[in-house]
Each structure stands twice: as C-alpha cells, then as structure tokens.
Amino acid sequence: MTQCPPQANLTGTEPAAATPVTACHPEGWLSMLRSAVVLFAIMTVLGGIIYPLVVTGIATLFFPWQAHGSLINRSGQHVLSGHQAVGSALIGQYFNKPWYFWPRPSATSPMPYNAAASGGSNTGPTNPALIANVKARIAALQAADPGSKQPVPVDLVTSSGSGLDPEESIAAAYYQIPRIARLRHIAPAKLKAMVNNHIVGRSLGVLGERTVNVLELNLALNRKYPY
Amino acid sequence: MTPNAWLQITLLMGTVLLLVRPVGAYMVHVYENQPVPRLGKILGPVERGIYRVCGISAHHQQNWKRYTLALLLFNLLGFMAVYLIQRWQGWLPLNPAEMPAVAPSSLAFNTAASFVTNTNWQNYAGESTMSYFTQMAALTVQNFLSAATGLTVLVALVRGLARKTTTELGSFWVDLTRSMLYILLPLSLVLAVVLVSQGVPQTLDKYITVHLVQPFHQANSTTTAPSAAITTQTIAVGPVASQEAIKELGTNGGGFFNANSAHPFENPTGLTNFLEEVAILLLPLAFCYTFGRMVGDTRQGWAVLTAMLVLLLALMIPCVMAEQAGNPLLAGYCNQRPTQLQTGGNMVGKEARFGPVNSAIFAGVATGTSTGAVNSMLDSFTPLGGLCPLWLIQLSEVAPGGVGSGLYGMLMFVLITVFIAGLMIGRTPEYLGKKIEAFEMKMASIAILVPPSLVLVGTAIACVTAAGLAGIANPGAHGFSEMLYAMTSQGNNNGSAFAGLNGNTTFYNVLGALLMLAARFWTIIPTMAIAGSLARKKIIPAGSGTLATNSPLFVFILIAIIVIVIALTFFPALTLGPIVEQLQMMAGHR
C-alpha cells in the first residue's frame, strides 16, 4: 500500500472547492472494494458470531439460571428446563380467579401475558378507549370484592409497557388482600405479612421502584394456604 | 418533582460525568493511533492481522473524498447484508422458532435502512419476526458498525479541525477497526455479562413453554365459538444480552423484543435500567473530552458538553414532572398519587419496577441521544410528557445525540453559531483557529437543514394521503402526533416511536427508509466535506478580538441558536399535536 506524500505546500487560503484533491491515489477502486468486502466479513464474524458466542459461553458458565430465562418451579426454586418450570421469575402470568393476586392488565395479543408477543396497549392519554378500559377493570375488581371501598391503585388498572410486567406496586397487592383473605379463609394480617415478604426492593437500595412479584407471591400463597 | 426524581437524575448524571474524563482520555489513544493501554497488548496482533488480510496499512491516510467513499461503500455492503439475511433467514442456521423470510420486502428494506443508519426504527416485532441468526449476524453487527461509522465521521471532522494544511484525515478502515476492537466490543462484552447476571437471557435454545399456574379462558372473545382454554405460556428467549449491550452503547435502540427495554428480559431491574442509561450517554458525552484533547483545549469539549446537557435536562425534567403528575382524565377513577406503597402517576404503558420517574428519564436519555430505545410506551405518555422526547429528537439529535453523530451534528451548530456571532461583532468567523468561510457555511447549512425538511415534508405527505392516515391508532390530535413522531424519529435517525401507529405498510416502510437514509448520509457527506476543507486551512493564532468558544457566553449563544434555528421550526407542528391535546386533556375532553 503506497502512502501519500506529506502536503506541506498548501496554504489553506483558497476556497476548498478549488483545491485539487486528486493529489495522491493511495488505493484504486478495486483495492478499496477488496478492503471493504474483507473488512465487512471480518467484522460480521467478530460482532455477529464470535462476540455473541463468547457472551453465551460466559453466561452459561457463570449465570446459567439467568441465561436460560430465570425459570422457577412450583416451589419457587430455580430450574434450568421448561419441563420442570411453571414460569419465569421475570415474566408475569395471567391470573383472573378471585382467590389469586391479579397482576397488572396486559395488552398482548391474542391472549394476555403472551410472552412470545410483548407490547403495550399504546392507547393515548385522551383516547376514550383508555378511560373505558380503566372503568371496566375497576368494575371487575369491585365485582370480585363487592365490599371494597378503597381507591384503586393506578397500576392495577393500567396495562404495562411490555404486557409481561412480572410485578405490581405494593399498594396494588394490598388492595387485593381483603378479597383473597376472605376466599382463602386467612387473617388479612397474615396475608399482609406474606406480601411484605415478597417485596422486591430497589437495586442497591436506590435504583428503580419497590414492587411485588405476582407469580412468586401466588406460588407462595398456594404452598402456604392452598385453595 | 418528587425527591426520588431528583435523586435518580442526579445519580445518573453524576455517574456519567465521572466517566467522561477516563473514557474520553482512553479514546484519545484509540484515535491518535497510539498503542492502547492494556487492551493493545492483547488485541494489537488481531488488529494487525485484520489490516494484513484486508490489504490496509495501519499508517494509511485518506483525503475526505476517499474517506467518504470508503464509508459509503462499507455501509452499502452492510445494507445489502441486512436485507439479504432477512430475506433468506428461513434457509439460514440458528432459527429454532422457524421464522420464515421477513416479508413484505418493503419491511426488510425499511429494517435494513434502519439498522445501517443507526436509527433502529422497527416496523416488526423481534420475537415473532427475526431468527436468532438475523438478530446476531445482521442486526447486532449493524449495531456495532453503524456506531463505529458515526465515530469515524466524527474523528475525521476533529482531525480536520486539529490538523493544518493537509488533505489527510486518517483512514476509514483503520478508524473503523480501532473503534470496534478497542471501544465497542470490549465495553459491550462487559455490559452484556453484567446484564446476564441481572436476568437478561443469553441462549441459543428454542423458546420455552411452561404450564400455567392458573389456566384461563380468553376473556372478551369477539367470536361466538367457545374459546379454548389457555394452559401454557411460550416464553421467547434468545441471545438477548449480547444485543442489548451494544444496542445501548452504540445508541442504536433496536430491541430484541417488541417491547424493547420495557421487556423484563431486556431490562429486568432498577440496576439494568440505570446501566443502560449510563451506557447510552457514555460515548456521546465522553467523546466531547476526546475532542477537547485532540484539538488541544479540553475546555472546548466541556463547553459543547455543557450545551448538550442543558438542552437534555431542559426537556427531560418537564417530562418527568408530566408523567408523575398523571392523567387528569383518570383522576376520578383510580389513585395516581405517589406514596410509600406506589409510584402513582401515569402508569399506562409503564412497568411497575420503573414507575413514571425512571420511565421519563429513560425516554429523555434515549431521545436526547439517537438511541430510541424505550422502557415504556411513549404513545401512552401524557401529551406534555410525549412532547419532550419528540422535541429532543427534533433538535437534530445533538443533546447529546448519537455515538459520533451527536458531536459532529453539534459541531455543525457550533460553526453556524461562530458565523452568526462573527457577523454580529463584524469579524471573520474562526473556530479553533480555522477560518469559517462560505464553503463551510454552505455545507453546515445543508447538514442542519436536511433533517427538519425531511420531517416536515414527510409528515405533510402522511397527512394528505390515505395510506398515511390509515396507520393512525389513536383518535384526534394524538393521531397527528403519531405521524409527526414517526417522521421525526426516522428523519433524525432516532428510532423510537409512538408505537400505536401501524408502520408496517408499503407507504410507511418505503417513506421511512428513504427518510432514514437521507437523514444519515446527506448529513455525513457535507460534514466530511467540511472536514476536508478545514484540514487544508492554516491555524491562525487566537488574537484579542477572537471570539472565545469555550466561555459560558458562547455556550449560551450556541443553545440560543439551536433553539431559534431548529426548535422553533417545529413549533407550529407541535401546536397541532401534543400542545392542543394537552389543553384538551386539562379541559377534561376525551
């Protein structure tokens, strides 16, 4: 590969368009094409094959549970295979029976909590459909627990961004305690203690928000107070 | 603003600012072609091997035309590769979900344009469209290469400012290789492993099927036939972490999954959310320091960085406030007040673990940079909350903008500012000792006027065609906002969306692809022309009458120029969309 000679004789005062830029020909068209094709192939192998495989290797070696989808079984224990699992600790499931904690609404299609087709409702803030949806969800919550007069926490009646939100606010879990306590014949205080045991704190104490993991809470509920 | 909101913003900005100097200084080694500390020992032989195979000299120099040609040729190859891999993925390996070829061809065309231009606009849902091979060898590769391309243009421009009386701007091949080997790949590797430790999957196994704890019948079925019981859940997994890391570091933003960083597998915890935000801001801001060092005055870099952050925070903070305030139309039905037990606020399209505060911060970070990732659905933001990310993109992605592209875009505004300030005080405009003359002004004007023109013309076309209006998902002013957002996002290479809009139509696929290609390359070419022109000039020593471009006064003028020249261009359009919707919402209209 030839190199350009240093170009010290340019004064830099004339307009750019007038300056000849063909002073040196370090590479012809063919050599440029060759460089581009070979470099592109190398970068594709490096970034598209080697790099993901190295990450996969490290992940499988050091974090096999996380790398395979954070699966849990009925006892809440970590498992690696879908056959033994009831779900993922990070992916919500749909619950609509009144003796379970309900998760946040999910707008995935064709069924809620479709973990193969994530997404939100994308209803705008002034869309009448949004207000109608919220009212219908409040009506469903009140129908399942006619005595309830508490205000409904907003996250319990609004669909999440992913449609797979594994968590809800502590307020949303507390709101459902009277209903579940009545149906499962448990003292509300015991149920509240159980919810408190399942609070997911902020990362490092500051990052993110405090929530409750609904699937793990329901699994614990089934183990301790079978319906 | 709640105390938590201030805390989260302060933590994020503090962490990023602490990293600017060390990372920026490290990048000086990379682009001054010096041996790179530590990594150079391991990767030096790899680097030299690559040059040998490609027939490149490590000391090779190109003039601006050669450099630009090499860049365009390389990106053309990337475009063809992404298109063909999508169309052939049915026959290619690593396709356990047995995805067929990406169709229609206009979708593959849009996606290829999108990933090559660092936009990552997605008219498809990743987990139901793309095979693992396509995600890795087509999309992840372009996440790397489009970011590296941005860095090469920037470093050529900075060399144009730093060098004198030469035509040599460095070598595109060398700059690209070093960007990959010494910056993007190592940082991504570290981030990907940390993400996995928090729960982001990284596997080539097929999607997982589990038996539900509580089977159910599908509610609200519109068909009269009895709906089948749903007893299983199929959980999409894949090589997510490797793609997620470069998606943020390269300010790309294209999600592995449809829900992007709102998906618990892309962004499972408060920590991953924080690290993703840091990763997004890291390179665009750190390069300001690199720039300062390369032109011999770090205060020049800090001045530009200050302008970027002021603009970012000026729109991020109102977004946080609007989202935390919630939606008055829902106030009568549910409780949106923040307490110890709930975040409250507008939770439509948001994840419980992030709440309105961290969703709005993420939206600001990802639209101020050209990332376009989302951890919440922007279409469901309050009108004012949605206006902030929209306007941040419309600033032409300079606050702080994408990897490379943000700073070279900002330097175009700096040249305009120097020129206007020069007119005001009656002196020949200079920047860093380089005279700014008619040629530079013409090119800079093209570079800054291309994106707004694309956005406004594109929106106008969408508004007056049946095909454009057919994509709208929400009624009223919000429908206009959806179209404006789509054109803004693609016309500035951002990639985020008001995702209700159905963009997977021939109309939106083709129009969007053309916008993305034009926005990327019609700004790169004039930028490179300026780099070539500046490199040829002498460096004039600063005199008593020279306008100081590292002073607070200059930062103020720069911000004012950006607001007057660009931000206000969009004010009429914003009035028709988010502003009128905000007024309707406050008045209680649905």
For residue B449, the distance in angstroms to the closest alpha carbon of chain A comes to: 21
Would you say residue B6 has pLDDT above 70? yes
pLDDT band at B48 (very low <50, low <70, confident <90, very high): very high
Q: Is residue B235 pLDDT above 60, yes or no? A: yes
- C-alpha–C-alpha distance, residues B73 and B87, integer Å: 21
Nearest-CA neighbor of B551 among B307, B365, B380?
B307
The pLDDT score that the predictor gives to residue B219 is 61
Give the whole-angstrom CA distance, residue B261 versus residue A118: 11
Q: Which of B4, B7, B2, B8 is nearest to B363 (CA)?
A: B8
Rounded-to-integer distance, Cα B331 and Cα B337, Å: 9
pLDDT, tens only, B340-366:
999 999 999 999 999 999 999 999 999
A90 vs B136: CB contact, 8 Å cut-off?
A: no
Residue B228, pLDDT score? 81
Q: What single-letter amino acid sits at A206? A: V
pLDDT digits (tens, 9 = 90+) for B80-98: 999 999 999 999 999 999 9
| Interface probe, candidates A30, A34, A39, chain B, greatest B C-beta count within 10 A | A39
On the question of pLDDT at A15 being above 70, the answer is no
| Check: complex ipTM more than 0.90 | yes
Interface contact flag, A121 B536, Cβ < 8 Å: no
pLDDT, residue B226, reads: 60
Give pLDDT tens digits for B57-79. Answer: 999 899 999 999 999 999 999 99
> If you average pLDDT over every residue of chain A, what do you get?
90
Distance from the A146 Cα atom to the nearest Cα atom in chain B, whole angstroms = 16
DSSP per residue, B549-566? TTSHHHHHHHHHHHHHHT
pLDDT for residue A72 is more than 90: yes
* Tens digit of each residue's pLDDT (9 = 90 or more) over A115-162: 999 999 999 999 999 999 999 999 999 999 998 889 999 999 999 999
Residue B220 resides in a domain: no
| pLDDT tens per residue, range B246-282 | 999 999 999 999 999 999 999 999 999 999 999 999 9
Q: Which of residues 27-86 of B touch A (CB under 8 A)?
A: 50, 53-57, 59-66, 69-70, 73-74, 77-78, 81
Residue A143, token pair as written in the block: 């129908």
Residue A12: the pLDDT is 39
Contact B152, B71 (CB under 8 A): yes
Q: Which of residues 373-412 of B touch A (CB under 8 A)?
A: 374-377, 379-383
Confidence check: pLDDT of B37 > 90: no
Give pLDDT tens digits for B204-223.
999 999 999 999 987 654 55
Rounded to the nearest angstrom, the gap between the alpha carbon of residue A30 and the centroid of all alpha carbons in its chain is 47
Judge: A48–B196 Cβ closer than 8 Å, yes or no. no
Does pLDDT of A25 surpass 70?
no
A57 CB neighbours in chain B (<8 A) are none
Report helix, strand or coil for B2: coil
Read off φ and ψ for residue B353, nearest 5 degrees: -70, -15
- Asked whether residue B310 carries a pLDDT value surpassing 50, the answer given is yes
Best CA proximity match to B128, nearest among A133, A116, A152, A209: A116
Residue A10 predicted with pLDDT over 60: no
Q: The tokens 């309105």 sit on which residue?
A: B356
Q: What Cα–Cα distance (Å) separates residue A210 from each residue in A167, B75, B355, B376?
A: 9, 44, 9, 17
Token digits for B3? 């105390």
How much is the pLDDT for A16? Answer: 41
Please tell me the pTM assigned to this model.
0.95
Q: Which residues lie across from B335 on neighbouring strands?
A: A153
Q: Do B500 and A167 touch (CB under 8 A)?
A: no
Rounded Cα distance between B582 and B579, Å, is: 5
Assigned domain for B401 exists: yes
Res B590: pLDDT: 61
**B223 lies in some domain:** no
Residues of A whose CB is below 8 A from B53? 38, 42
Residue A22 has pLDDT above 70, yes or no: no
Question: Is B538 in the A-facing interface, judged by CB distances under 8 Å?
Answer: yes
- Closest CB from B70, B165, B327 relative to A36: B70
Decide if A66 and B201 are in contact by the 8 Å CB cutoff: yes
Does the CB of B350 have a partner CB in chain A at under 8 Å?
yes
Question: Cβ of B187: how many Cβ atoms within 10 Å?
Answer: 19
Q: Which of A118, A123, A133, A141 to mutate to test the interface with B (most CBs of B within 10 A)?
A: A118
Angle at B292 between CA B288 and CA B297, to 5 degrees: 150
Look at residue B581 and tell me if it is in a domain.
Answer: yes
Beta strand pairing status for A167-168 and A211-213?
A: antiparallel
Domain enclosing residue B330, as ranges: 3-214+232-586
Higher pLDDT, B568 or B78: B78
Distance of CA B473 to the CA centre of its chain: 24
B323 Cα to chain A: minimum distance (Å): 11
Q: Which residues of B touch A30 (CB under 8 A)?
A: none
Identify whether B224 is part of a domain.
Answer: no
Give the whole-angstrom CA distance, residue B437 versus residue B429.
8
pLDDT above 70 as % of chain B: 98
Round to whole Å and give the CA distance between B274 and B19.
14
- From the list B393, B372, B388, B411, the residue with the least C-alpha distance to B325 is B388
Amino acid at B79: F
Tell me how many degrees the CA angle A158-A161-A165 measures, rounded to the nearest 5: 80
Domain count, chain B: 1
The verdict on residue B453 lying in a domain is yes
Segments making up each domain of chain A, as ranges: 25-62, 93-224
Q: Which alpha helices (DSSP H) does B433-551 contain, by range?
A: 438-464, 466-469, 477-491, 506-536
Which residues from chain B sit within 8 angstroms of residue A86, using beta carbons? 210-213
Q: Is the pLDDT of residue A8 over 60?
A: no
Find, among B373, B365, B565, the residue nearest to B453 by Cα: B565
Instruction: Judge residue B445's burial from the number of C-beta atoms within 10 Å of its C-beta, 0-12 exposed, 13-18 middle, 19 or more buried.
Output: middle
Q: Give counts: helices (H), strands (E), chain B.
A: 22, 5
Q: pLDDT at position A145, please?
A: 94
CA distance B75 to B70: 9
Q: What is the 3-state secondary structure (H, E, C) of B298-366?
A: HHHHHHHHHHHHHHHHHHHHHHHHHHHHCCHHHCCCEECCCCCCCCCCCCCCCCCCCHHHHHHHHHHHH
B571 touches chain A (CB under 8 A): no
Tens digit of pLDDT for each residue in B529-554? 999 999 999 999 988 878 899 999 99
Model confidence at A227, in pLDDT bands (50, 70, 90)?
Answer: confident
